[in-house]
Amino acid sequence: MQLKEIFTNLISRFTSDKQIATELWTEIEKKYSGPKRHYHTLVHLEALINQLQECKDKIADWDTILFSVFYHDIIYNVLKTDNEERSAGLAVKRLTGINFPALKIQLCKEQVLATKAHTLSDNPDTNLFTDADLSILGQSPTVYEQYYRQVRKEYSIYPDLIYKPGRKKVLDHFLNMPRIFKTQVFLNKYEKQARENLLAERASL
């Protein structure tokens, strides 16, 4: 199923206004297709949904986690450090506009904010969501290399002198975690390869 169809089906459960549905999808599509995006694109959203589909039976609130996928990187500016907060704020605004239940809006907000540090949450769905967001770290070395080169393009405004120390800090953040993946399903699938990939990238910097 295409992303647009997934989003349209999702939003139709909360509003019958097709114009609003179209406007919200157009906004998402435009944001994730910006010329400065190389990794945080619609392809990234597809990958997340594919990862989560594989463990859907473990997810309590599928609708909320889907909205979290669509909105978690909707604001992405490499010059800013509050992208997650701004993305969460926009999600709250848009979901309030379609009368999505308040408790679910709060959960979506928490899930989007959780992608800032990817630390353990007391909500199992949130842990699955952030693990899916990090699943790229545990892909094959070839796919992982493509990922970090795309990230470098997104930060092309910065020279290596600034970028490399910053990137090392990010890599060390994950390498210093007792476990990168919070859930057993993602831990089993990706932890070992993720650590190998992170160490290899760090050695190349």
pTM for this prediction? 0.97
Q: What gap in Å lies between CA 91 and CA 173, rounded to an integer?
A: 27
What amino acid is encoded at 69 in this protein?
V
Predicted local distance difference test score (pLDDT) of residue 87 = 98
- Which residue has tokens 């169809």? 5
Per-residue pLDDT of the chain (205 residues; tens, 9 = 90+): 799 999 999 999 999 999 999 999 999 999 999 999 999 999 999 999 999 999 999 999 999 999 999 999 999 999 999 999 999 999 999 999 999 999 999 999 999 999 999 999 999 999 999 999 999 999 999 999 999 999 999 999 999 999 999 999 999 999 999 999 999 999 999 999 999 999 999 999 9
For 174-190, the pLDDT digits (tens) are: 999 999 999 999 999 99
Class of domain 3-204 (CATH, top level): mainly alpha
- Domain spans in the chain, listed from the N-terminal domain onward: 3-204
How large a percentage of the chain has pLDDT more than 90?
100
Q: What gap in Å lies between CA 22 and CA 58, rounded to an integer?
A: 30
99-123 burial by CB neighbour count: b if 16+ within 10 A, else e? Answer: ebeeeebebbbbbbbbbbebeebee
Q: What gap in Å lies between CA 136 and CA 99, rounded to an integer?
A: 33
Q: What gap in Å lies between CA 94 and CA 70, rounded to an integer?
A: 11
The residues, ordered by sequence, that sit 6+ positions from 111 with a Cβ below 8 Å of its Cβ are: 64, 65, 68, 72, 123, 125, 126, 129, 130
For 30-65, the pLDDT digits (tens) are: 999 999 999 999 999 999 999 999 999 999 999 999
Predicted local distance difference test score (pLDDT) of residue 1 = 73
